Amino acid sequence: MTIHIGAEPGDIAPTVLMPGDPKRAEWAAQRFLDNARQVNAVRGMSGYTGTWQGHPVTIHGSGMGMASLSIYANELIRDFGATTLIRIGSCGAMQHDVKLRDVILAMTASSISTPSSNMLRELNFAPCADWGLLRAAVHAAEAKGSTPHVGGIYSSDTFYDERADLTEALTRHGALAVEMETAELYTVAARYGVRALAVLTVSDHLITGAALDSGVRESSFGEMVEIALGAAFG
């Protein structure tokens, strides 16, 4: 047991999928895992462990934002031995050719700051996805008939951001989308020498203002789970 995860040693699988929303963790565990059982409920942050095609898998919420994800990623790796962490989440598109529902595989994630920034002092660390996972996720997505965008994203600390000039600069520099967790996930994974990847679907568009309705969000979430599982064991 750790401060934030009420699991016993051995309750967490080496492969952990991390949606932001703990309710999504429950939904995905019920839908995709065999023999899923709840392994965490501390502060309402649900985690479930079961098997997928015979492989042990944990699906554990990260919460919203890098501060929250950082706590769970640190404990899952350091105290429970997780070695593959895949974020599955939504993002806001920042390019015209990235459309609602498109899948984005984040090669890297820019940020203004992460919970790790101060630990790295003046170093401007470049967080990056695990190459083997990224490659396997491309194949898993293509096998499902989806053509993912692969490239850099922006991990923000601010959902309601008024800095239009910053958004515009990121768009000009090719950032595919904005979300709020990946830069810290990749940094923590690098610190411990484990594998990480973010599989995202576009839920809203910063340029056009379009947004998915909740029914479509659920089916696109299921698609991400399948790509993440295919990547982990591909």
Query: What residues line the site for ligand ADE (CB under 6 A)?
Result: 90-92, 156, 159, 178-180, 203-204, 206
Residue type, 129: A
> Considering beta carbons, is residue 147 or 158 the nearer one to ligand ADE?
158
47-52 and 177-179 beta bridge pairing = unpaired
> Considering beta carbons, is residue 51 or 108 the nearer one to ligand ADE?
108
Note if 165 is an active site residue: no
Can you tell me the distance from the alpha carbon of 184 to that of 28, in angstroms, rounded to the nearest whole number? Answer: 23
Nearest distance, CB of residue 92 and ligand ADE, angstroms: 3
Largest CA distance in the chain: 49
Nearest distance, CB of residue 61 and ligand ADE, angstroms: 15
Can you tell me the distance from the alpha carbon of 20 to that of 25, in angstroms, rounded to the nearest whole number? Answer: 8
Nearest distance, CB of residue 32 and ligand ADE, angstroms: 22
> Considering beta carbons, is residue 74 or 156 the nearer one to ligand ADE?
156
Residue nearest to ligand ADE as judged by C-beta position: 92
Element (H, E) at 233: helix 214-233
> Considering beta carbons, is residue 68 or 156 the nearer one to ligand ADE?
156
Nearest distance, CB of residue 104 and ligand ADE, angstroms: 11
- Reported in sequence order, the residue ranges of the chain that DSSP labels E, i.e. its strands, are 15-19, 34-40, 47-52, 55-60, 84-93, 103-110, 149-155, 177-179, 195-205
| From 11, 21, 79, 204, the catalytic residue | 204
Can you tell me the distance from the alpha carbon of 167 to that of 65, in angstroms, rounded to the nearest whole number? Answer: 18
Nearest distance, CB of residue 203 and ligand ADE, angstroms: 5
Residue 19 tokens, joined: 């949606």
**Residue 4, Cβ density class (10 Å: 0-12 exposed, 13-18 middle, ≥19 buried):** middle
Can you tell me the distance from the alpha carbon of 50 to that of 23, in angstroms, rounded to the nearest whole number? Answer: 16
> Considering beta carbons, is residue 204 or 223 the nearer one to ligand ADE?
204
Which active-site residues does the annotation give? 204
